[in-house]
């Protein structure tokens, strides 16, 4: 993951500094899944050389919330089930539709307000 980020840094000519290591070796694996990077300056390259665009310091963090291998497996299983043509039993399908109907009835004012806000109707 860090190699991909460094490759993007080289191609975008952006200076990125890694946060200082707090000396806790147990967090090294955690930092790869939860990187926090500070950008101190934005450097661009022009024909006259590098210049500083004066961008303010920016901090961000990203969180990986799922295992992409598991997502790929889940999507594959769902596609296989869909292609099989099988359906859930009638009782479960009716219960799901009843739940949706109740949710719509309980929130009809909020739904109408959102439609009015989005579409002006």
User: How does pLDDT run across 74-115, given as a tens digit for each residue?
Assistant: 899 999 999 999 888 999 999 999 999 999 999 999 999 999
Instruction: Please check whether residues 11 and 54 belong to one and the same domain.
Output: yes
Same-domain check for residues 40 and 83: no
The Cα–Cα gap between 3 and 1 comes to 5
pLDDT by residue (tens digit) across 3-34? 454 444 444 444 444 444 445 444 444 444 44
Q: Note the pLDDT of residue 63.
A: 56
Residue 46 contacts by C-beta under 8 Å, 6 or more apart in sequence? none
Q: How many domains does the chain have?
A: 2
- Categorize the per-residue pLDDT at 51 as very low, low, confident or very high, splitting at 50, 70 and 90: very low
More confident site: 115 or 70: 115
Boundary residue ending a domain (19, 44, 61): 61
The reply to whether 6 and 51 lie within a common domain is yes
Domain of residue 99 covers 68-119
Residue 44 pairs in a beta bridge with 51
Helix (H) / strand (E) element for 10: namely: helix 2-12
Q: What mean pLDDT comes out for the span 30-58?
A: 45
The pLDDT assigned to 62 comes to 60
| Domain C-terminal end among 15, 40, 61 | 61
C-alpha count within 13 angstroms, C-beta hemisphere, residue 59: 3
pTM beyond 0.85, yes or no? no
pLDDT of 71 reads 85
* Residue ranges with strand state E in the chain: 15-17, 36-41, 43-46, 49-52, 58-61
Do 53 and 18 share a domain, yes or no? yes
Q: Residue 108 has what pLDDT?
A: 97
Q: What is the pLDDT of residue 29?
A: 43
Same domain, 115 and 80: yes
57 & 73 share domain:
no
């Amino acid at each position: 993951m860090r190699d991909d980020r460094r490759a993007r840094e080289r191609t975008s000519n952006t200076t990125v500094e890694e946060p200082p290591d707090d000396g806790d070796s147990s967090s090294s694996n955690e930092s790869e899944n939860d990187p926090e990077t500070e950008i101190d300056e934005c450097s661009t390259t022009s024909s006259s050389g590098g210049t500083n665009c004066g961008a303010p310091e920016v901090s961000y963090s990203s969180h990986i919330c799922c295992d992409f291998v598991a997502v790929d497996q889940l999507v594959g299983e769902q596609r296989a089930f869909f292609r099989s043509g099988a359906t859930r039993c009638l009782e479960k399908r009716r219960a799901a539709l009843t739940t949706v109907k109740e949710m719509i009835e309980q929130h009809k004012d909020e739904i109408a307000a959102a439609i009015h806000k989005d579409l002006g109707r």
